[in-house]
Structure 1
């Protein structure tokens, strides 16, 4: 069987997010985040669970970095807890919070693991939410101040920076549908929140450029390849709308200085006309060095006259993960080809993985489904590079089992198993599979 060998400098990593793993939610001067508040609100999270302790990474980061080194990771993507740095979102600094990330970064560098920092993975300081959160344009300015400090502190040693993780999810799950913090249900507000996030992104990119740092900066967008259920004109149009809303709404303003026209017209038809200053798009379109994408599944859609967009989701026929997401590796190849064709920007796969109901048997987790998922997606990543995509790296989601947002601890994405009662970590079979891929810089074809 032929080995599919990746480019020599290809970056193999794993990813996590601060609220999902750190715990220590109110220790050492950390401020409250919107996820602290949301998870402490009864009825929001599966079995009323929360991230107060999570994987206790705040206290166990050294052990966790040792496990990263055992797996052979070349890079580790993690997020900064904004309220751990600025408890009120701005103003007074929390030195103990800064010191935690300093120690973590030092430990990573000691093990020759490149730190890749995400500045915002959804845990907005609650103090800023009390002032309107992302509905308040000033939050973009506060974010740039926080980002500027992080660049000043770690810009010389951290080579990869991501401004925002999945602004679509932050805006729509947080502000339109209420499934995520801060739990608002205001569809029009979600579009405003999303715009302010893009403004925050642009201001942070400008601050990074102004600082003259030598690394790379980009943004991470969640994407799902869109396929029409049939080749009817109506279904093809539905697919175009879904792609514009689900994929391109947060990409086009960065590269094309405008929102997708097909969705903008729908907003106007619903009397949701927004007036954003043209100068905003000068900021939002500040040149970035790469696009990060998080890919898990595809979307099959059909025309639905009863929805705002005229779109409905259709279940795919293949195996589904514990999240109910169809396993469709070809979708990763297709979206990589599409994005590189349309935007001509280097790409990192900043998240890809699957949740399965893992069980420990004789001290071992035989997660063959996850291994198959990772193998097939990594093969598609190789095919995309072969066919001309400038793909620079792959980060598995997730390094370890963790707090899966509204699903609490009921979904396991990790290649490391976490026993939440004892905090014991166990490398799953998928971790050893991934270790071999990294060692060989390739996958069996």
Structure 2
């Protein structure tokens, strides 16, 4: 759910074509949408045709930085707290801006990070990485380097793959607010980022293969499953699902994650932040309350929504919210999260369907950490059970009591990255 603060990426050549504060960037859950209410359906149900909207069309590409040697990559990963045991190539990183659709199927743009290995093969298999929660627009892969949020993408590219990482709607260079935990728009943004990467790759002397390896952490774990589902369903004419490796997701957000934070089974401050983000973000898309005062206690009713505007940092969210849920929520606010009804219940059914409404035909592994303080590990068990009911045996890889900046949740992404790079590599050699 979080990402450590880090430096912004350095700019360069442009190509144009027609646990705290950290636990709020790359962790598990968070966000909002640019529209409070609307009559149109979310993108997950809009069935907008790619050809009709020009989805995935490349708007611009900017070279951000080059790490010319494996040693330079190792130093970059080390500065973010990641290992270098899978590094084989130097890399070059680009920010792509591309056309996509918002949560209501309307045309918009989004950005993402595209990282390629130097001295690698001409034909590359793409690895799509979906990042965890961020509160600020800059808490996204294409906006930070030497950082937790971009390290996984660089690791995959340095092992010989094409690393593709959407920033999501409203993050990075995307306009508006971020529709947090909205699987439909996370899926379209991820798929269209792949299309933009495929369009740009030939300018660098590369071609992306059809098979895509898909992974993601925390919020991005659900996004990864959404992308995998779309690829398997043939929503793109070129790309196909090769494998799935989500890490520490809130797959059963309504049935496991919300009860865990309300009952105090998660880190207390994380629970406050995620409860606040849930109410604000879901209200922007689904209109679950009329006034902040219905769900947030004074004095927070006047300020909480503004904290999730994409311009506030994780540290500012920490400072602007209370220490406990009892201080944050009204009786009605707690009841709404405890027993969701109406639009919130309907939205949670869609969010929680990422594991139970399809059967992946590609290899799947679910990664988690013992004692995760932000994503209740029962989420992973529920996902595995749902997949098993659909005939899919998805092994759970328990990474143990890993730690990163005193967070096992963040530690799971660090530990899982090397493991997933190796697994994807083994699959590619078959």
Taking structure 1 as the reference length, the TM-score comes to 0.31
Q: Quick check: which has more Rg, 1 or 2?
A: 1
Taking structure 2 as the reference length, the TM-score comes to 0.32
